[in-house]
Chains A and B, each alone.
Chain A
Amino acid sequence: MCGIVGYIGERQARPILLNCLARLEYRGYDSCGIAVAGGNLQVHKDAVRVEALKEQLPRRLEGKIGIGHTRWATHGEPSKVNAHPHGDCTGKIAVVHNGVIHNYQQLRQKLIKEGHTFTSATDTEVIPHLVEKHFDGDLEKAVAKALAEMEGSYAIAVLMDGKAELIAARKDSPLIIGIGDGENLIASDVPAVLDYTSRVIYLEDDDIAVITGEGVRVKKNGETVDRKPQRVTWSVEDAQKGGYEHFMLKEIHEQPKVIRDTIRANLYTDETAADRDISEKVGAGEILMLACGTSYHAAMVGKYVLEQLFKVPVRTELASEFGYSGQTSSQTQAIVITQSGETADALKAIKRLRSEGCPVTVITNVVSSSATRIADHVVYTMAGPEISVAATKSYTAQLMALYWMSLFSARIDLRRKDSLIMELRQLPGKVQRVLDDEETIAQHAAQIAKHDNVFFIGRGINYPVALEGALKLKEISYIHAEGYAAGELKHGPFALLNGKAPVVAIVAPDNNYEAMLTNIKEVKARSSPVLALVEEGDEVVAEVADSVIVVPKVDPLFSPVVNAVVLQLLAYYAAKERGCPIDFPRNLAKSVTVE
Chain B
Amino acid sequence: MKQAVILAAGEGQRLRPFTVNRPKVMLFIADKPILQYVIEALVQKGIRNIVLVVGYRKEQVLDYFGSGESFGVDLTYVTQERQLGTAHALAQAKAAIKDDFLVLPGDNLIAADTIDQFATIEPEAVLVKKVDNPMRYGVVTIQRGTVKEIIEKPEEAASNLVSTGIYSFSRAIFDFAEPQLDLPDVVNRMISQGHKIKAVETEGAWLDAIYPWDILNLNDAVLQQAQAKSGGTIEAGVSVKGQVSIGKGTVIRSNSYIAGPVVIGDGCEIGPSVCIFPATSIGNNVVISPFTEVKNSVIGSDVNIGSGGIIHDSVIDNSCQIGGRFAACSGQEEIAVNQEHHLVSFGAMLGEGCTLGNSVVAQPGVIVGNYSQIRSLKLLSGRLPDRSLVV
Residues of A within 8 A of B (CB): 235-237, 240-244, 250, 253-254, 257, 260, 263-265, 267-269, 422, 425-426, 428-430, 432-433, 435-436, 438, 552
What chain A residues lie within 8 Å of B70 (beta carbons)?
235, 237
For A254, the chain B residues whose CB sits under 8 A away are 63
Residue of A nearest to B63 (CB): A253
Hey, which chain B residues are within 8 Å of A268, CB to CB?
233, 249, 251, 267
**Contact (Cβ within 8 A) B59 A237:** no
Question: When chains A and B are docked, how far (Å) is the Cα of A315 from the Cα of B249?
Answer: 35
Known: A240-B69, A433-B353. A428 touches B59 (CB 8 A): no
Contact (Cβ within 8 A) B267 A260: yes
Given contacts A263-B267, A264-B267, A268-B267, contact A425 B77 (CB under 8 A): no
Task: Determine the chain A residues whose CB is within 8 A of the CB of B58 once the complex forms.
Answer: 243
Are B301 and A429 neighbours in the complex by a CB distance under 8 Å?
A: yes
Q: Do residues B62 and A426 form an inter-chain contact, with CB atoms below 8 A?
A: no
Residues of B within 8 A of A422 (CB): 287, 304
- Specify which of A240, A429, A436 is in contact with B67 (CB 8 Å cutoff): A240
- Docked-complex contact B62 and A428, CB < 8 angstroms: no
Minimum Cβ distance to chain B for residue A430 (Å): 7
A267 to B286, CA, bound (A): 13
Name 7 extra pairs, CB < 8 A, besides A263-B267, A422-B304.
Answer: A250-B62, A257-B63, A260-B267, A426-B304, A426-B321, A429-B352, A432-B318
* Chain B residues proximal to chain A, CB less than 8 Å: 21, 52, 54, 58-59, 61-63, 65-67, 69-70, 75, 77, 233, 248-249, 251, 266-267, 269, 284-285, 287, 301-302, 304, 318-319, 321, 352-353, 371
Q: In whole Å, how far is B53's beta carbon from the nearest beta carbon of chain A?
A: 12
11 of the cross-chain contacts (CB-CB < 8 Å) are A237-B67, A242-B66, A243-B62, A243-B65, A243-B66, A244-B62, A260-B284, A426-B302, A428-B319, A432-B318, A435-B59
B41 CB to closest chain A CB (Å) equals 21
Q: CA–CA, A243 to B65, complex, Å?
A: 9
B66 and A240 contacting across the interface, CB-CB below 8 Å: yes
Q: Does B62 lie within 8 Å of A260, measured CB to CB?
A: no
B20 nearest CB across to chain A (Å): 9
> What residues of A have a CB within 8 angstroms of the CB of B284 in the complex?
260
B229 to chain A, nearest CB (A): 17
**Chain B residues near A242 (CB, 8 Å)?**
62, 65-67, 75
Kindly state the separation between the CA atoms of A65 and B67 in the bound complex, as whole angstroms.
30
Contact of A243 among B77, B269, B287 (CB under 8 A): B77
Most A C-beta atoms less than 10 A away, residue of B66, B251, B304: B66
Q: Which of chain B's residues have a CB closer than 8 A to the CB of A250?
A: 62
Nearest 5 CB-CB pairs, A to B?
Answer: A429-B319, A242-B66, A243-B77, A264-B267, A237-B69
Whether the Cβ atoms of B63 and A237 lie closer than 8 Å is no
Judge whether A425 and B66 touch: CB under 8 Å. Answer: no
- Docked pose: A446 CA to B120 CA in angstroms: 49
Contact among A257, A264, A429 for B353, CB-based, below 8 A: A429
In the complex, which residues of chain B have a beta carbon less than 8 angstroms from the beta carbon of A267?
Answer: 249, 267, 269
C-alpha spacing A242/B69, complex, angstroms = 9
Residues on A with C-beta less than 8 A from B287 are 422, 425
The answer to whether A253 touches B62 (Cβ under 8 A) is yes
**Beta-carbon contact of B61 and A243 below 8 Å:** yes
User: CA of A422 to CA of B285 in the docked complex: distance in angstroms?
Assistant: 11
Cβ distance B305 to chain A, nearest Cβ, rounded Å: 12
Give every chain A residue within 8 A of B321 (Cβ-Cβ): 426
Would you call the interface of chain A mostly helix, strand, loop, or mixed?
helix
Q: Cα distance A235–B321 when bound, in Å?
A: 34
Q: Which chain A residue shows the least CB distance to B300?
A: A429
A429 and B302 form a contact (CB under 8 A): yes
Instruction: Tell me the bound Cα distance from A253 to B70 in angstroms.
Output: 17
Q: With a 10 A CB-CB cut-off, give which of A235, A250, A253, A268 has the most chain B CB atoms.
A: A268
Complex CA distance for A257 and B287, rounded to whole angstroms: 17
CA of A253 to CA of B54, assembled, Å? 17
Q: Which residues of A contact B301 (CB under 8 A)?
A: 260, 428-429
Q: Which residues of chain B have C-beta atoms less than 8 A from A260's C-beta?
A: 267, 284-285, 301-302
Within the complex, what minimum Cβ distance (angstroms) separates A193 from chain B?
15
**Contacts A422-B304, A428-B302, A429-B302; A264 near B319 (Cβ below 8 A):** no
Given the known A-B contacts A235-B69, A242-B65, are A425 and B302 also in contact in the complex, defined by CB atoms under 8 Å? yes
Residues of A within 8 A of B77 (CB): 243
Residues of chain A lying within 8 A (CB to CB) of residue B304: 422, 425-426
Contact of A236 among B61, B69, B319, B353 (CB under 8 A): B69
CA gap between A422 and B306 in the complex, in Å: 12
Question: Which residues on the B side are within 8 Å of A241 (C-beta)?
Answer: 67
Report A-chain residues with C-beta under 8 Å of the C-beta of B75: 242-243
Set of chain B residues within 8 Å of A435, measured between Cβ atoms? 59
A430 to B319: give the CA distance in the assembly, Å.
Answer: 8
Residues of chain B contacted by A244 (CB below 8 angstroms):
62
Which A residues are in CB contact (< 8 Å) with B266?
Answer: 264
**How far in angstroms is the closest Cβ of chain B from A310?**
25
Complex Cα spacing A268 to B284, Å: 14
Residues of chain A with a CB closer than 8 A to B251's CB: 268
Residue among A428, A430, A435, A436 having the largest count of chain B Cβ atoms under 10 Å: A436
Q: Which residues of A contact B54 (CB under 8 A)?
A: 243
Provide the residues of chain B in CB contact with A263, threshold 8 Å. Answer: 267, 285
Q: How far is the CA of A435 from the CA of B321 in the complex (A)?
A: 19
- In whole angstroms, how far apart are the Cα atoms of A430 and B371 in the complex? 11
Asked whether A429 and B318 contact (CB < 8 A) given A269-B249, A435-B59, A436-B21, the answer is yes
A480 to B285, CA, bound (A): 40
* Distance in angstroms between the alpha carbons of A241 and B287 in the assembled complex: 33
CB-CB nearest in chain A for B303: A429
The CA-CA distance from A430 to B52 in the complex, in Å, is 28
> Among A236, A243, A428, A432, which residue has the most Cβ atoms of chain B within 10 A?
A243
Closest A residue to B22 using CB positions? A436
A432 and B319: CB pair below 8 A?
Answer: yes
- In the complex, what's the smallest C-beta–C-beta distance from A164 to chain B, in angstroms? 33
Closest chain B CB from A112 CB (angstroms): 50
Chain B residues, CB < 8 A from A243: 52, 54, 58, 61-62, 65-67, 75, 77
Measured between C-beta atoms, what is the minimum distance from B139 to chain A in Å? 35
A436 and B52 alpha carbons, distance in the complex (Å): 21
Contacts of B371 in A (CB 8 A): 433
Hey, which chain A residues are within 8 Å of B318, CB to CB?
429, 432
Cβ contact within 8 Å between A253 and B69: no
A250–B61 CA distance with the chains assembled, in angstroms: 12
Taking the nearest CB of chain B, how far is it from the CB of A458, in angstroms? 25
> What is the CB-to-nearest-CB distance from B195 to chain A, in angstroms, rounded to a whole number?
33
Q: Which residue of A lies closest to B57 (CB)?
A: A436
Give A422 Cβ to nearest chain B Cβ, in Å.
Answer: 7
A438 touching B59, Cβ below 8 Å: yes
Give B269's nearest chain A residue, CB to CB.
A267
The residue on A at minimum CB distance from B58 is: A243
Most chain A beta-carbon neighbours within 10 Å: one of B65, B302, B321: B302
Q: Give Cα A236 to B65, complex, Å.
A: 13
Which residues in B have their C-beta under 8 angstroms from that of A428? Answer: 285, 301-302, 319
Q: Are A237 and B66 in contact (CB-based, < 8 A)?
A: yes
Cα distance A432–B69 in the bound complex, in angstroms? 23
Q: Across the two chains, which residue of chain A brings its CB closest to B318?
A: A429
Nearest CB of A to B252, in Å = 12
Chain A residue nearest in CB terms to B251: A268
Query: Which residue of A257, A432, A552 has the most chain B CB atoms within 10 A of its CB atom?
Result: A432
Instruction: Determine the distance from Cα of A237 to Cα of B77 in the docked complex, in whole angstroms.
Output: 15
When the two chains form their complex, are residues B59 and A425 in contact, meaning their CB atoms are under 8 A apart? no
Q: How far is the CB of A539 from chain B (nearest CB, A)?
A: 13
CA distance A165 to B318 in the complex (A): 55
Distance from B285 Cβ to chain A, minimum over Cβ atoms (Å): 6
Nearest chain B residue, comparing its CB with the CB of A269: B249
Complex: A269 Cα to B269 Cα, angstroms:
14
A349 to B63, CA, bound (A): 38
Name the CB-closest residue of A to B284. Answer: A260
Name the residue on A nearest B266 (C-beta): A264
Residues from chain B with a CB closer than 8 A to the CB of A432 are: 318-319
Q: How far is the CB of A276 from chain B (nearest CB, A)?
A: 17
- Greatest chain B CB density within 10 A among A260, A264, A438 is at A264
